[in-house]
Amino acid sequence: MKERDLTIGFIGTGVMGKSMAHNLLRSGYRVHVYSRTKSKAEDLLNEGATWHDSPGELVTQCNVLISMVGYPKDVEEIYLGSDGIIQTANAGTIFIDMTTSSPNLSKQIEAEAKKQGCYSLDAPVSGGDIGARSGTLSIMVGGDSEVFEKVEPIFSALGTNVVHQGPAGAGQHTKICNQIAIASTMMGVCESIKYAERSGLDPNTVLKSIESGSAGSWSLSNLGPRIISENFEPGFYVKHFIKDMGIAIQSAEEMGLKLYGLELAKALYSDLANKGEENSGTHALFKLYE
């Protein structure tokens, strides 16, 4: 399969998926799209994407299918449900699930894909709405290395740090590592900015001093300014982060590992969601400190 022969189906045009599909169009790929809410795909259709009314209809028109949806249950329904796309896909189709999902589910999808003469990769991402728009996502890939090599140019249109991590499920395990690190970091970012305010400092100048030192992080540099300006629009939803942390805790428990910081972060984010902030950005955790 040559790169110029690839037609990409894209399921899910939310905060992340829309920008990712746009970058594929900008890179010259033929892109077909499906989303539960068609209005979310209007910009892509105006750019030349082709709309389909169902995932089953979409998958027959492409040889690479990318999904970027909300929850593992959505992934399972799309691939393995009663109308799952694996059953209707053409032989040789490559499925790429870029949702943060369960490692075990990724292994199930690969096994079912093989039965139908198809292939599967799990390829969750990090970088938020900023990385999705700029095409600088970090992409963590699990699955067969030869399949990865076939679609690596597609990943290069979406991200700048693309790493094949191992067999099916390895991408999801790596994303769990990412979310574990972010969870405790986000608590530190919020507490640092709140401390700066309470001590009478200007948080903006504090940020200039600490973001390039040993305290530096993506969250501090990119979400710190949003916190200071009280812009809590989602680059990544609180509700989806809670989902990710739940997957991580369950996976860790299966391995006999207790994650103290992650459990605390999940408790705080659950409290935040209960206060009506589930559709805010993850940096809205700051509001708990108000």
Residue 65's φ and ψ, nearest 5 degrees, are -120, 120
Residue 211's φ and ψ, nearest 5 degrees, are -70, -25
Angle between helices 145-158 and 17-26 (to 10 degrees): 90
User: What positions carry a catalytic annotation?
Assistant: 175
Sign of CA dihedral 78, 80, 83, 86: positive
List own/partner pairs for 131-138 with CB under 8 A and 24 or more apart: 131/159, 132/15, 132/16, 132/17, 132/19, 132/20, 132/23, 132/158, 133/19, 135/23, 135/159, 135/160, 136/160, 136/161, 137/20, 137/161, 138/162, 138/163, 138/178
Q: What does DSSP say about strands 125-126 and 137-142: parallel, antiparallel, or unpaired?
A: antiparallel
Distance of CA 28 to the CA centre of its chain: 23
Pairwise CA distance, residues 65 & 10, whole Å = 6
Bridge partner list, 95: 65, 120
Nearest CA to 103 out of 234, 252, 265 is that of 252
